Each structure stands twice: as structure tokens, then as C-alpha cells.
Structure 1
């Protein structure tokens, strides 16, 4: 195998960083672990990229893919159907909350988010509200890389090279209680009401007749696993109902057991109008995403000569659908969702031991989805400067954690955090291993400040 950087253009990667060093190259996975070309083992503390929910090396998922490929490797869903897409859509509709019974398949999360915004705009045009085209999302939130999804994304550095983006994407505060405004810093419910009411204020500023949807993750990824305050989503649902705005639950990460429920909306007891999802639907064994919509949203497109003019060549690919069905069978057989619900508190408690380190400001998240926010001063919650973040996160932590045998994410889209999202099969042994490696590496990182 040649030098990977000679031809391979890696995603979200500073290619120059490998001018004089080897690219880490992973060749095998089993359970919660992966191995590189040198045979070194790493604990996969990120499930690949919040994806490999069932764990690596699941032979039954590989066999499902091979069997389907030998029968029908490909056929589009453009005016035709195939059995696995029909069966999977029915399966997903049975698991989704409320009347989310219409499943539009994509190949990944960005496409699912893009599809949801397009559906919201098209739906309102069809029902006589053509001015509704704007969307509301949160600061620091990441919703994808296609032009619509990137417009929803609230991470400015990711957007600069591609502006101007799709107009009409409005941003509101996120649910980072650790960074709450002074007036509600000591009252999480008050903070939640304020953050939700900021959505109402944005709708009123823009004009309710122009807003079609609000896009929110159950637990926000970027910024470091931000769970919602109690009552937040119930208040958001009330606001959306009041102004006739669709609530989109972006669950590209948060579905399929990541939070200890099939969908994050179920975990926090709110009813969205649309769910966008991908990643863990197949545990990464084949690409697949979906937009899951309420029954009423398809109604304008069911009449004679009507069509939702949107489609994706590989959306609902037969092999991917077969893998997803086998993945859901595995989930049921091993009760992976129940396992996460039963052990999440132990995972949180294990990571919370790190609070005794001076560099650890906050440990937050839910299910198997946690972030550790790093600070310079625990008392004042002072964060790193840009230069310190560059030196600590990119210059040291990312490499040091990997060298110590832990694959996870050191990130500063917002405040500096380390994110952990292991396969849903992880046990206390893996929790302890993560904590021990983090303790050692974060202790060394503190000396660099």
C-alpha cells in the first residue's frame, strides 16, 4: 500500500499535517476495538463517527449485505420499489413516535437534513403558505455539509469557504447550561425556558408566516454533547404549534439506541413532525439515512399528477436496507437499547471521576454520548485562547489520546471538549479504560497550559 496522502483526499483533515508523518490507517475491527496496520489495538471511543452502534466485526451484518447483493444489488426507488425498502420503511414507521409513518430514504445524514428542509418548503407551498421558507437552528449546532444542511449548521469556520449559502437560516442560542447567561446560571429550568423562548422571539422577528421549520438535535453534538434542560422540548413544541412551524428532530446521531431509546424524541418525550436519521441505522456496515415524516406532510403529494420533486440515486439501496433490517434484528435480540438505558448512569459516573482534574470543567451528555469540557480555570470557567486550543487540542490531545490507545474526538467547535460515543455493546471494562487513558493524557495536557 502506498502513501495514503498521494491520492486520497481525507475529509475534514489538515492534509499538511501528514507531510512528514504517517497517516493512521485502520485495517480491522472487533467489538469495541480496532487495529492499525502495525497491529496496535485501540478502543473505539467514538463508534467510528457515532456510527458503529452494534460494534465492529458483526458477521451477520456482513452476511446480510452479501446475500442481498447476490439477489438484487441495486434498483432505484424512482417510481419503483424493492422488498427490502418496503420492509424497512414499515419497520422504521413502527418504531418511530406518533404518526411519523412516511419514510424517505437517503444515503446519509446531510441528505436527510437537506430532504427535510426541501419537504418543509414544498409542503407549505402546496398548502397555500408560500412565504414559509426560513428555518431556525442553534448556534454551534452541526447539521451537515450539503449547502442547505451547511446553512443550518451554526459553526462559522465550516461555512466561510462556501458562502453565500442558502438564505433564510436563522440561529438561536443552544442548550449549553454550563455556559448559561448569568441571570439563569443557577436554575436549569429557567435557562431551558429562556432558550426555548428565544426560538419564539426569532419566529416573531422574522414573521411567523415566513418560517417553515425548527431543526434541533435531541442532544446537540457540536459544542460537546449538550442535553436539553427539563421542559425545553415541550416548550419548543408549544411554540411550533402556536405559529404553525414544523419541528424537525435531527437524530443523525441520537437515534438507534445512542441515548437509550430508539429515537431521542422518545427519550425526551416530545413529538416531532419530521425525524432525520442515518449513522447507527446500519451500524455503519452500509450507507443509509432517512427522513421520517408525519402522515399529513405527504398528503399534498398524493393527488393525481403530484410529486415531491426530490430523489437520490442510492437512497434506499437494497444492500443497505438489508443490512439495516439485520441490524434492527440484532438490536432486538441483544436489547442494545435497554443495555444503554441500564448502563448510561455507570458510564456517566465513571467519566465524572475526572472532575478532580483541574482541566475538567464539565462532564455532560446522555446515553452513550458524553462530552468533557476543558477549561483553564474551574472557578471562573475560563476557556482556552485560540492559541491554547490549537496547542492543547490539535497539537497534543488528539495525538496523545490515540497514541495511548483511545480513539475519540478532541474538538473546539465552540468550547474545547473531548467527546465519547462508544459502541452500544460497551461495558464497565471499556468505561474504566476510557477514564484511565483520559486521566493520564489530560493530566499531561494541563502541564502545557
Structure 2
């Protein structure tokens, strides 16, 4: 295929592409970056410029771009089998990956159901919980608890258990109703002037308990992002909150569905956030880092209790009637297996504490900047909230696009970033070096100073 120059690529992009989460009236005709290569922590554009990938290919990249071992695994698999199906067949890579996932998952999860993205992984979990209740003698238990500011994807079911109006409100007539619970983060509600979320977490757990006590008879399940609400603004839950949610689910017989799409595969410093906080959900959704950012792949893991509710004779119609064309795609599974090998061979999790400490140090220093209202961190995830007034925490007007302007300024420092409104997101490849982390944090700080004055 003939290579195209940058101007032609930009023109074709404007003429033919519709980008996600993008106002195209601002995009079309602009000098947008066209990425043509990747190398380690860097993206390289059609003019040869290099950008440190500060958001890990939108929260997916684990080992860096174009990692040789994963490349080789994919190339080898292409010559063996590109795709078959899991409907009436199985394949070796899907089988091997399922075993590996259960080996590293929170204890008690024992079955893997594949799909191809985070939205579908969550939607599968919701459908499993709904059908589980119907098939265990509780057809009246049809509702779900979802949290304010939650994001679980963009399919209709996953939007229904979300809680971000800017993404979901326009679609409200399409969505099934849920019971909304408050999510704790003191830097928003200001319950604690010291920023200690413990009190806020306890209050939110008490409100959650009131909701469960009132609605237990009709609740099929609860859906939660463990440890961090990602798209809600990198909102970090207080210590003990996740375990408290698990205890309440047990007390009121409500299935717990953990959406680890963003936080799984080392992002919190442990392989999974649920492990870090000592709990096992009934159902766990995985995607993003599962294939190290290479290929669309997702998995929904379930306990034996969930799986057994679907067991029966053919005529019982207890089958989980759900599937995807590319379920268990062997090329994607080969990439995931190579990624798990790299976790072990390169001892990736063991390399993270020093990087996590460095991010913590830099975030604490940046919290003193005049227009930084709050910083938050969970492992290799960071968020920097930009505010118009530090004293009152008054937000910048949406139309000023301050977060976007900081990201554009960061390109001058060789960084690619993408904000969540006026929250700067830190989500680099886990393999990033300390020197590269310094470059990332220096560039973010300089860009914030320039844009906010």
C-alpha cells in the first residue's frame, strides 16, 4: 500500500472519519496529529515527531508500544489460525488464556466468558446477574444499584448502570432504571477539610445500606468500579469502602459486579484492584489491559455459584443466551498470553512501587499550584483537578476548555495527554521508566503553569 503524506492523511481523516467523544466541528480542518508508529512509551506521528503517551492508548497499554514479544506472538498465531468460533468449537489460545486468568484472578472466580470490549464485558455481567436471579427462584429481583459518577461503557445496558449525565442523559429514554447510590470523594463534597475521605466513605456506606435494606427484595446486583471511578474524573475511593460494599452485598444477598476494565492488570499496583483490597466479587469484568492494548478482547469472570445457576438439561432453557462473533479470538488471546508472560518474565508488578512513589511525590508538589484544586492517585493512575479559584474550588467554565488547552500545550513538551473535562489524567504504560515519568510530570506541570498563568 502506498504511504500518504501528512496533508493527505489529514484531509482523508476530515472527509471520512467520525471520531469518538469528539466535536467534529472543532476537529475537521485542524492540524491534527496522525500517528503512524509506536515505540516503547512513545507514539510517532507522520512527520516523525515523538510524543510520550501519557494516557497509555486510552488506558490500555501495559508494556509499551510495539513490544517485540507480543508482536512475535501475534505473528506466529496469524500463521496458525486467525479465527474460528466458540459456538460449537473451542480453540487452544482461548482455553489457555482462560486457565491463566483464573490462576491470577481473585480467589473464587472460576469461569471465563469472552467478549471484545469493556462495555460488553459489563453488560454480560449485568445479564448474568439478572438471569441468575430468575433461575434461582427470585424473578422479582430485577434491579441494580449503580453509583453516581460511574462509567461502565456506551452500550445501552452499560449506560444504564452508569451515572454521568454528560454521557448518558440524552439516552435516558432508552435506559432501564437503576437505584443510584452516592460515591465517596471528600475533595468534591468537602465533608473533611483535611481531604481525608474516611468520614465520607462511612456516610456513603450508611446510605448504601439504607438503599439495600429498602430495596433488597428487588435487587439483582450492584455494579461498581473498584478503587477508582475512571471517566468520572479519576475519583479515588477511601480505604475500606470497597470492602464495606462487599460486606453489604453479602448481608443483603446482592450480587457484586466489579468493573475492572480500567483498573485491572496491574494498574493499581496489584494485578487486580479487588485483590489489593481483599475482596472477591461475584462477577468481574475485564478488558483494556487484558491484551496489553493490542487487540479488542474482554472477559467476564464468574464464581461457581453464578455458573451453576445456568447448569441444566437442554430443554430447561437455562443456557446463557449471549455471544459475540469474535468471542475468544485466538489472535487476541495470543496477545494476552504473551502479555501475561511479560508480567512474569519482566517482574512488572515488582517494578511499580518506585514509580507509584514518584507519581505521589510529584502530585503532592503540584497540589500547591495556584489553580490545582485537588490531586488524587491510585497506583499508576493520577488525576489533577484544575480550578478557577483554589480557595472556593470553583470550576473553570466548561467553554474555556482549560483541560484541552493544557493538553495542547503539553504537545510542545513532547507529550500526548487527553483530559476528563478539567481533570488532567495520568495513565502511562506500566513499563514507563522513571526518567520518562519525570519527563511526563515535568511537562504536565509546565503546561498547567503556562495555561493557568
Deviation larger for 241-250 or 117-126: 241-250
- Secondary structure of the corresponding residue to residue 163 of structure 1: helix
Structure 1: gaps of 5 or more residues: none
Deviation larger for 157-166 or 333-342: 157-166
Taking the aligned partners of 1:197 and 1:77, their CA distance within structure 2 comes to 44
Would you say the 8 A contact 2:387–2:394 is kept in 1?
Answer: yes
Taking the aligned partners of 2:348 and 2:310, their CA distance within structure 1 comes to 37
- Secondary structure of the corresponding residue to residue 104 of structure 1: strand
Q: What's 1:209 paired with?
A: 217
Taking the aligned partners of 2:438 and 2:333, their CA distance within structure 1 comes to 35
Which residue, out of 32, 42, 46, partners 1:37? 46
Q: What's 1:384 paired with?
A: 396
Q: What's 2:330 paired with?
A: 318
Would you say the 8 A contact 2:213–2:252 is kept in 1?
Answer: no
Would you say the 8 A contact 2:268–2:378 is kept in 1?
Answer: yes
Within the alignment, does 1:176 sit opposite 2:188 as a pair?
Answer: no
User: Structure 1 135/341 Cα, relative in aligned 2: closer, same or farther at 3 Å?
Assistant: farther
Would you say the 8 A contact 1:354–1:435 is kept in 2?
Answer: no
Instruction: Describe how 1:4-23 pairs up with structure 2 within 5 A.
Output: 4-23=13-32
Q: What's 2:158 paired with?
A: 149
- Give the alignment's Cα RMSD to 1 decimal: 1.7
Taking the aligned partners of 2:152 and 2:313, their CA distance within structure 1 comes to 34
> What TM-score, normalized by structure 1, do the two folds share?
0.94
Would you say the 8 A contact 2:191–2:199 is kept in 1?
Answer: no
* 1:28-54 C-alpha deviation (Å, 9 max, x unpaired): 111111111111111101111110111
> What TM-score, normalized by structure 2, do the two folds share?
0.93
Would you say the 8 A contact 1:185–1:191 is kept in 2?
Answer: no
Taking the aligned partners of 1:144 and 1:54, their CA distance within structure 2 comes to 24
Within the alignment, does 1:445 sit opposite 2:429 as a pair?
Answer: no
Q: What's 1:194 paired with?
A: 203
- Secondary structure of the corresponding residue to residue 345 of structure 1: helix
Would you say the 8 A contact 1:100–1:294 is kept in 2?
Answer: yes
Q: What's 1:94 paired with?
A: 103
Structure 2: gaps of 5 or more residues: none
User: Structure 1 212/185 Cα, relative in aligned 2: closer, same or farther at 3 Å?
Assistant: farther
Taking the aligned partners of 1:350 and 1:187, their CA distance within structure 2 comes to 19
- CA displacement at 1:89 relative to structure 2: 0.5
Instruction: Describe how 1:276-291 pairs up with structure 2 within 5 A.
Output: 276-291=285-300
- CA displacement at 1:328 relative to structure 2: 0.3
Taking the aligned partners of 1:92 and 1:434, their CA distance within structure 2 comes to 32
Would you say the 8 A contact 1:258–1:340 is kept in 2?
Answer: no
Within the alignment, does 1:408 sit opposite 2:414 as a pair?
Answer: no
Would you say the 8 A contact 1:123–1:297 is kept in 2?
Answer: yes
Which residue, out of 119, 131, 154, partners 2:128? 119
Q: What's 1:349 paired with?
A: 361
Would you say the 8 A contact 2:192–2:199 is kept in 1?
Answer: no
Q: What's 1:252 paired with?
A: 261
User: Structure 1 32/183 Cα, relative in aligned 2: closer, same or farther at 3 Å?
Assistant: closer
Within the alignment, does 1:297 sit opposite 2:297 as a pair?
Answer: no
User: Structure 1 391/308 Cα, relative in aligned 2: closer, same or farther at 3 Å?
Assistant: closer
- CA displacement at 1:403 relative to structure 2: 3.7
Taking the aligned partners of 2:369 and 2:339, their CA distance within structure 1 comes to 39
Would you say the 8 A contact 2:186–2:196 is kept in 1?
Answer: no
Q: What's 1:393 paired with?
A: 403
- CA displacement at 1:70 relative to structure 2: 1.4
- CA displacement at 1:355 relative to structure 2: 2.0
Within the alignment, does 1:327 sit opposite 2:339 as a pair?
Answer: yes
* 1:389-427 C-alpha deviation (Å, 9 max, x unpaired): x33223x22322234321122222xxx210011001112
Within the alignment, does 1:360 sit opposite 2:367 as a pair?
Answer: no
- CA displacement at 1:163 relative to structure 2: 3.0
Taking the aligned partners of 2:382 and 2:175, their CA distance within structure 1 comes to 31
- Secondary structure of the corresponding residue to residue 437 of structure 2: helix
Number of residue pairs matched? 440
Which residue, out of 308, 313, 319, partners 1:307? 319
- Secondary structure of the corresponding residue to residue 163 of structure 2: coil
Would you say the 8 A contact 2:60–2:292 is kept in 1?
Answer: yes
Q: What's 1:66 paired with?
A: 75
Would you say the 8 A contact 1:368–1:422 is kept in 2?
Answer: yes
User: Structure 1 26/187 Cα, relative in aligned 2: closer, same or farther at 3 Å?
Assistant: closer
- Secondary structure of the corresponding residue to residue 44 of structure 2: strand
Which residue, out of 434, 437, 447, partners 1:431? 437
